Amino acid sequence: MVDNTQSLSARPATPILTSAHKIAVAGLGLIGGSLARRLVERGRYVVAWDIDESLYEAAHSVGIHTVDTIENLALGKPDVLVLATPLKAMSHVLSRLGAVLPETTTLIDVGSVKEPLRKSVVDAGLARQYIGGHPMTGNELSGFECSDASLFRDALWALCVDDHTDLSRFLTVADVVTQGLGNRFICIDDETHDRSVALISHVPHVVATALAALLSASSDRQIAGALAAGSWRDMTRVSLTDPARTQAMVEENAQHVSQLLNDISLVLSQQAQLLLAADQSEVHVHEACQRLTAFFASAQPYRNYRAAQAHLELPADNASLGLLDVSDGNWQAELLESAGKGQQIVRFLTTHQAQFLEVSGW
């Protein structure tokens, strides 16, 4: 248990007012559409713009307001503007927003790569208003017609900040994520984000595509495709994603993805060699088998982690949540350290104190 008596007295404890009533969403695709639907369901005022106005009627029917240009979205003075266009369009949209976005509006995005995007934000003169956002949800589908508020149920966000990020703007975005969407978040820096998602999202997309391409090119594809069961379907699901979207994502994160692809390529070719050695009655067969065993054992920490996660129960009440105090001068590093311990922020109670859920297991 965490004793919060001392922390409450030691820090400034300004209560937080819900500060993001009006939320603008630029781009009503799978993610923007799902996010807008959920915010409306949970009582926020949502106004959106999309390059394709033919979907506006469907948007209106679920309570999403719309405007006809990205400029009008900005001129409506939303508390928060969520940039949810395709990655490739973001720098163009940002350049248009640069001239018109009110000072009072905080800007966030939902893109899957953060370092290049912050450069575009800086170029657009919007750095002071910006928090990077990445909701860890989605599927292989695209478009508003596939969007679904439940995609954001229990989602975890990465919120990305740098040393210049303004705490009060961060609290506004935290309000949208935790109270507006009912989600949790971790707060990290851009590079940690891009390195981490290269590992758990971008590289898996490339690997799944490589598997699907292998089957596509195989003369056994008719029979092998028929024999493909659950493991294959699960492994290759993300290869069904719009390939242009996947390519844009990995190209934006090229350095990290490239490094990890080389790592995994090397591991796989090593196992290929070991399997041949183990299959031949050579003097080295025993060593090869041992090294194969070591390879399979090297994933054991992950098996243990998943087993621990499976038994993790979300607390029914707030009593078992931890309390984290953050300071004015060092809150970014304090939140990053908290994320590194497996803590996920559930809400801010005051401007300088957050509740977290501990979901470690490594």
Instruction: Give the footprint of a copy of itself on residues 307-336 (CB under 8 A).
Output: none
Give yes or no for residue 271 binding a copy of itself (CB under 8 A).
Answer: yes
* Dist. CA 70–CA 27, nearest whole Å: 9
CA dihedral 113, 190, 34, 144 (to 10 degrees): -20
Task: Determine the angle formed by the axes of helices 203-217 and 254-279, rounding to 10 degrees.
Answer: 50
Q: Which residues in the 176-205 window bind a copy of itself by CB under 8 A?
A: 186, 188, 192-193, 195-197, 199-201, 203-205
Stretch 109-128 residues interacting with a copy of itself (CB under 8 A):
none
Smallest separation, CB 144 to a copy of itself (Å): 20
Among 210, 282, 315, 320, binds a copy of itself (CB under 8 A): 210
For the record, the structure tokens of 149 come out as 């508020």
Binder to a copy of itself among 296, 311, 317, 329 (CB under 8 A)? 296
- Which of 24/238 has CB closer to a copy of itself? 238
> Between residues 6 and 231, which has the closer beta carbon with respect to a copy of itself?
231
231 is a contact residue toward a copy of itself (CB under 8 A): yes
- Rounding to the nearest 10 degrees, give the CA dihedral for residues 198, 182, 132, 28: 90
Q: Alpha carbon of 277 to those of 42, 271, 285: distances in Å?
A: 60, 10, 6
Q: How near is the Cβ of 352 to a copy of itself at its closest, in Å?
A: 23
Does residue number 300 form part of the binding site for a copy of itself (CB under 8 A)? yes
Among 22, 65, 96, 237, binds a copy of itself (CB under 8 A): 237
Whichever of 20 and 113 has its CB closer to a copy of itself, that residue is: 113
Site size for a copy of itself, by CB under 8 A? 104
The interface mask with a copy of itself, positions 141-180, x = CB under 8 A, is ---------------x-x----------------------
Helices 254-279 and 285-297: crossing angle in degrees, nearest 10, is: 140
CA dihedral of 321, 327, 330, 331, whole degrees rounded to 10: 40
- State which H helix or E strand residue 127 sits in: none
Is 78 in contact with 22 (CB distance < 8 Å)? Answer: yes
* Closest distance of CB 87 from a copy of itself, Å: 14
CA pair distance 63, 57, nearest whole angstrom: 10
Interface with a copy of itself (CB under 8 A), residue from 153, 221, 284, 286: 221
Question: Minimum Å distance from CB 184 to a copy of itself?
Answer: 9
293 binds a copy of itself (CB under 8 A): yes
Should residue 261 be labelled a site residue for a copy of itself when binding is judged by CB under 8 A? Answer: yes
- The CA-atom distances, in angstroms, between 233 and each of 203, 225, 290 are 17, 10, 30
Contacts of 287 (CB under 8 A, 6+ apart): 277
Is there a contact between 260 and 200 (Cβ–Cβ < 8 Å)?
Answer: no
Each residue 27-66 as x (binds a copy of itself by CB under 8 A) or -, in order, gives ----------------------------------------
